[in-house]
Amino acid sequence: MSPTINIRRAEPADAQAIATVQTASWRTTYAGLIPAEFLASMDIGRRAAVWHTGLTDSTRRHCYFVAEDADGQVVGFASGGPEREGHPIYKGELSAIYLLDSYQKQGIGRRLVQAVAGWLHENHYHNMLIWVLAGNTQGIQFYEAIGGQRIDSKTINIGGENLEEYSYGWLDLTLLF
């Protein structure tokens, strides 16, 4: 448990903080997995603009949550919405979840997943999947620890390199609460 960490819905004003956490977490998580030039070239301002667009989207088809410490500093975030590739069974998707390195393994990731799963459930999704790089051992161990089942694999291209990804699914979101 992480009692001093508050999980709340993200607001447009969080876009910069989310992009900052995303960039820092990508650089520590994916060092050695994703080409170094790609990680070095990540632009917080450009990413913040993309998050801001999502956070101000009036259709509200996606959800965004942040984890903040006692000082109101954003230390992690997660997002979710409809599954993006037309999967026949899994209709919801956990599209991103990232914590700063020093806040990992304290129960915050589980709480962020619960927040997204709760939103999906309220919005009539019964299940969800996520995609994780095959080389992201910690991510995979996390998803398996919280009940995810491996579904599928695919190859994606990041920074000119072909990388394998696995999908993990939860058929019954209520088991996550």
Ligand X SMILES: CC(C)(COP(=O)(O)OP(=O)(O)OC[C@H]1O[C@@H](n2cnc3c(N)ncnc32)[C@H](O)[C@@H]1OP(=O)(O)O)[C@@H](O)C(=O)NCCC(=O)NCCS
Q: Is 167 near ligand X (CB under 6 A)?
A: no
Which listed residue (53, 84, 107, 154) binds ligand X by CB under 6 A? 107
Contacts with ligand X in 8-47 (CB under 6 A)?
25, 29
Point out which span in 4-12, 44-52, 82-90, 103-111 binds ligand X (CB under 6 A): 103-111
Point out which span in 8-16, 54-62, 80-88, 104-112 binds ligand X (CB under 6 A): 104-112
Point out which span in 10-18, 34-42, 54-62, 132-140 binds ligand X (CB under 6 A): 132-140
φ and ψ of 77, to 5 deg: -155, 165
Amino acid (1-letter code) at residue 116: V
Which listed residue (54, 109, 148, 169) binds ligand X by CB under 6 A? 109
d(CA 30, CA 169): 22
Sheet holding 149-158, edge to edge: 6-9, 63-68, 74-82, 92-99, 128-133, 161-170, 149-158
Please, are residues 67 and 111 in contact by the beta-carbon 8 Å criterion? yes
Which listed residue (119, 142, 166, 170) binds ligand X by CB under 6 A? 142
What helix, strand, coil percent values describe the chain, rounded to 5? Answer: 35, 30, 30
Which listed residue (64, 98, 119, 166) binds ligand X by CB under 6 A? 98
Q: Is 145 near ligand X (CB under 6 A)?
A: yes
Q: What is the dihedral of CA 92, 96, 100, 101, to 10 degrees?
A: 90
- Interface with ligand X (CB under 6 A): 25, 29, 97-99, 104-110, 132, 136, 138-139, 141-142, 145-146
